[in-house]
A and B are shown apart, each in its own frame.
Chain A
Amino acid sequence: MTMPLMKPRRKNPVLRTRQINLPPWARGRVALGMTAAAAEGRFELQVCKDCDAVQYPPREACRRCLSPRLQWRTQSGEGTLLGTTTLHHSNDPFFRERLPWRLGLVQLAAGPSVMVHLHGEVGDAPAPVRVGARLDRAGQAVLIGFPAEGSEHMADDKMLREMTSDPKFRKALVTDGKTAVGQAVVQALVKAGAEIVWVGHAEPWKKLPGLADITAMPQVTLVPLDLTNGRSVTELAGEIGGKVDIVINNAEVHRTFGIAARRGMDVAKAEMDINYFGLLRLAQEFAPALKARSADGVAHAAAWVNLLSIYALSNYPPHGTFSASKAAAHSLAQCLRAEMRPAGIRVINLFPGPIDDEWNQNLPPPKVAPAAIAAAIVKALRDGIEDVYPGDVAQEWLERWRDNPKVLERELAAAGG
């Protein structure tokens, strides 16, 4: 049984805010394959294409037959705990600050034995465990031994919370509360136990439905925020930047034009101004504040979420300028991730397929419901996932893009501009 996390006490303002130390993060190129899978929430190990051996740790060649033909394959993680150790001493600054720390040796049903961080609900060996891969605070894959069946509050486990960005007791900023997605995200964050949700409200004179429903919740406060207006971003960062633990940037402009279908630059500029420059303005103002508080108690600053689009991977010509702006945002989000990494702040990118909103009115289903986007964000925060592709369209495009980006480009071109 994990004891439910209690609401953290207010911090003592005369004490220095603790700074982050990262766990060891150096990995070889081969080992990054495990990180790439964990970034999407999967536990993958190398499997030999010639002799089917499953191996860990990752290597250049098969440990059994020396074949270089290795493939990363998803693992169920079923295994047996062989033994446990509790560290009471460490020379590594990250672990030193978090002692005691429990480790275990697990024999996977697939073959290899692996060292894992142990969830508190896993008892003494021998015991059945499920091994999963998570990104640690350094953004690298580590293995975790979960109980075969977890209890209600298992997410509150001290070790697990180090790997995730659970919204519980955290304070979040959602940058646009006017859209259906924004409102669904706010609802989901409150349901997930967020303590405060600040909700950006640009051009307050434009009355859009749904705002009253979210502002009725005591956790929710509307704040003036217009990502096209640098001064507005600066001002809000000055007011609440030092308290925000999770930034969810859902503000976007989406119009449905290619190059020829819309004369002039105004729509393309508006898209870039919010989708790309808006992220840049937000990051310049809020990222330093988050980085400074990434070890500030159990509800420390933890994550930054970007609502991108599956069109960021490959241009969808009927929504061509939107696709370009999201590709730019994707590139910038990678830069942000690199800059946030030393502080242990997770940058989560969402690549949804078409969202079921007014700008996709004429697109046939399947379309992603705003509530599904919100659920995907909360899940990513809880599970420590970095890249999320919500919806059937996104999943299918991702598969085709991975298979052959050039073929996908040609297929999308058939949709016309």
Chain B
Amino acid sequence: MQTTNTDLLSGLVSALATGRIRVVDLTQTLTPDFPQIALPPELGQCWPFRIEEVSHYDERGPGWYWNNFSCGEHTGTHFDAPIHWISGRDLPNNAVDTIPVQHFVAPACVIDCSQQVKSDPDYLLTIADIEGFEAAHGRIPARAWVLMRTDWSKRLDPEAYQNFDETGQHTPGPSSEAVRFLVEQRDVLGFGSEAIGTDAGQGYHLRPPYPCHYFMHGAGRYGLQCLSNLDLLPPTGAVLICPPLKIQKGSGSPLRVLALVEQRA
């Protein structure tokens, strides 16, 4: 067995070295300009990313440059653990420090909704979209990530990315039915999106409110949001590497999300 494992890993290493397996970065850069989720101002708020210089080869530290930064658990490209939502609060191993680490390396299916979202920023992923995807690319395997590609991450202007009007935020996400289908019928590992949250901007008005958070985390599944570069992934076959920071009882964490993608000959 030992030999086999080594062979597998050296195969991987050499495929990475030759470029047969590409590493795609699905992460937004952490910058103070990247918006954070906006809640009504009387509620508690997630900190945006902030950074302050400690020294810059100057009188504060002549030979070195470093910064202090601050942010929330849900700032930038980040991971949602089941404990994040009230529906997942009592599950075992529901925080970022106790989730089994094998879950941080898993296959991903990418459902392309970019066309629908072009004409409807409030677009909700439907069961029909999932069935259409499976008809073309095969059944979503158990314990895989399902990523909703919307090309929303291409909205580089924070105002366009947040897309607020006086009725709130207008960003795509999954319908309540689609989330239940993915959890109950497909046993997915989690759901990932390009917008600021896994739920749609108008998700508060769905039943239940924020269905992706409610059902995914209630079933011990995870969330990834503020992803980018999903257009560089194949519909199936990519492997995500997405370990959150090991924050004690953390509800989530900013993280680097990488995808391994095999180049088809």
Contact = CB atoms under 8 A, between A and B. Distances in A.
B244 to A, nearest CB: 21
Contacts of A255: 42
A206 B38 contact: yes
Contacts of A242: none
B50 interface: yes
Interface string A184-222: 000000000000000000011111000000000000000
Nearest to A267: B44
B51 interface: yes
A264 B158 contact: no
A214 B165 CA distance: 19
B54 to A, nearest CB: 12
Contacts of B32: 226, 229, 231-232
Contacts of B59: none
Contact of B35 (A205, A232, A264, A270): A205
Contact of B158 (A205, A267, A270): A205
Interface in B31-87: 32-33, 35, 38, 42, 44-45, 48, 50-52
A204 B159 contact: yes
B161 interface: yes
Contacts of B44: 264, 266-267
Given A228-B50, A266-B44, A205 B165 contact: no
B161 A205 contact: yes
Nearest to B47: A266
A268 B96 CA distance: 27
A415 to B, nearest CB: 21
Interface residues of A, number: 16
A270 B48 CA distance: 11
B50 A203 contact: no
Contacts of A204: 158-159
Most-contacted residue by chain B among A229, A230, A232, A255 (CB, 10 A): A229
A205 B159 contact: yes
A207 B165 contact: yes
A183 B129 CA distance: 47
A167 B48 CA distance: 35
Contacts of B50: 228-230
A230 B38 contact: no
Interface range on chain B (Cβ under 8 Å from partner): 10 to 19
Contacts of A226: 32
B162 interface: yes
Interface of A is mostly: loop
Nearest to B161: A205
B51 A205 contact: no
A270 B44 CA distance: 10
A266 B38 CA distance: 15
B45 A270 contact: yes
Given A228-B50, A230-B52, A205 B45 contact: no
Given A228-B50, A229-B32, A203 B38 contact: yes
Contact of B166 (A207, A228, A264): A207
Nearest to B165: A207
A204 B166 CA distance: 13
Interface in B157-201: 158-159, 161-166
B232 to A, nearest CB: 26
Contact of B45 (A229, A230, A232, A266): A266
Nearest to A224: B33
Contacts of B42: 255
B49 to A, nearest CB: 9
B97 to A, nearest CB: 21
B33 to A, nearest CB: 8
Contacts of A270: 45
A203 B166 contact: no
Contacts of B52: 230
B164 A207 contact: yes
Nearest to A273: B50
A267 B42 CA distance: 9
A10 to B, nearest CB: 33
B71 to A, nearest CB: 12
Contact of B164 (A206, A228, A232, A264): A206
A374 B183 CA distance: 56
A229 B71 CA distance: 12
Nearest to A262: B44
Interface in A216-246: 226, 228-232
Nearest to B53: A230
Most-contacted residue by chain B among A203, A255, A270 (CB, 10 A): A203
Contacts of B45: 266, 270
Interface string A254-281: 0100000000101100100000000000
Interface of B: 32-33, 35, 38, 42, 44-45, 48, 50-52, 158-159, 161-166
Interface of A: 203-207, 226, 228-232, 255, 264, 266-267, 270
Given A203-B38, A226-B32, 18 more contacts: A204-B158, A204-B159, A205-B158, A205-B159, A205-B162, A206-B162, A207-B164, A228-B48, A229-B32, A229-B50, A230-B50, A230-B51, A230-B52, A231-B32, A232-B33, A255-B42, A267-B44, A270-B45
